[in-house]
Amino acid sequence: MWVLLGIAVLVAGFVARLNPLAVILVTAVVTGVAAAFGPGVGAGEILQAGLDTIAAFGKAFNDYRYISVIWLVLPLIGLLERHGLQERARILVAKVRSATTGRILLAYFVLRQISAAAGLTKLGGHPQMVRPLIAPMAEAAAETRYGDLPDGLRYRIRAHAAAVDNIALFFGEDIFFAIASILLIKGFLEANGILLEPWQLAMWAIPTAICALIVHGFRLMRLDRTIAREAGQ
């Protein structure tokens, strides 16, 4: 029963609104140490259990780290931003008179969903696409029409840009039958006696993705009206 201490730490950490990553890390260490508790167990064995748990984290990071994303993409984006990537994106959007915030975000939604459905989940993303390109372009479209924006409206546009990436990826990636989530569903169903091929599961993700596009597209069109109203005030 000592291993249940990890659950108590997890609940306490989330209730206190601490950093989720730190809470999960401490929870794992507490669970690993608590697993060594028992009659006749000394302090040395408990300490060794904690060290083994931390070593398991290190091994997992070393085996499954994504070097290309963490150590290559982020410095590259930082270098491009330093040389005016956001400014160029704003200038480009300012030249397109028909561009609005909602239309730009909707176009990116469609592109992100189609690419995710083709298995290209790394084509977009917050650090490499939303922050340096999509969010500045969405802000520039509103500024071209209404001038300087209040901070609250500017942050709302950025939040919508981030949401577009999340929602499009979430509902688009399951259309690709070789994605990890589809394989996880297949394994779960197979363990319970339901035999389905990955492509059959992927087909059922298409109606959901279309519904997500329609619903979020409607929200983005409403965003344009919200920007016009708040900018006018």
Digit-coded pLDDT (tens) for 30-70: 887 887 776 666 777 777 777 887 888 777 666 655 444 55
Neighbours of 165 (CB within 10 A): 21
d(CA 207, CA 214): 11
Residue with tokens 């794992």: 28
Strands (E) located in the chain? none
Give dist(CA 147, CA 45) in Å, integer: 66
What sign results for the dihedral spanned by CA atoms 86, 91, 94, 98? negative
Report which of 56, 21, 14, 20 is spatially closest to residue 35, judged by C-alpha positions: 56
Q: What is the pLDDT of residue 177?
A: 77
Quote the tokens at residue 54: 């931390």
pLDDT at 64: 54
The whole-number pLDDT of residue 19 equals 84
Dist. CA 207–CA 227, nearest whole Å: 30
Q: How much is the pLDDT for 39? A: 67
pTM summary value: 0.66
Low-confidence residues in the chain, pLDDT < 70? 38-41, 60-74
- Residue 167 has a pLDDT of 95
Tokens of 177: 């039958």
Angstrom distance (rounded) from CA 149 to CA 147: 6
How far apart are the C-alpha atoms of 28 and 10, rounded to whole Å? 9
What is the maximum span of the chain, computed from C-alpha positions, in angstroms? 77
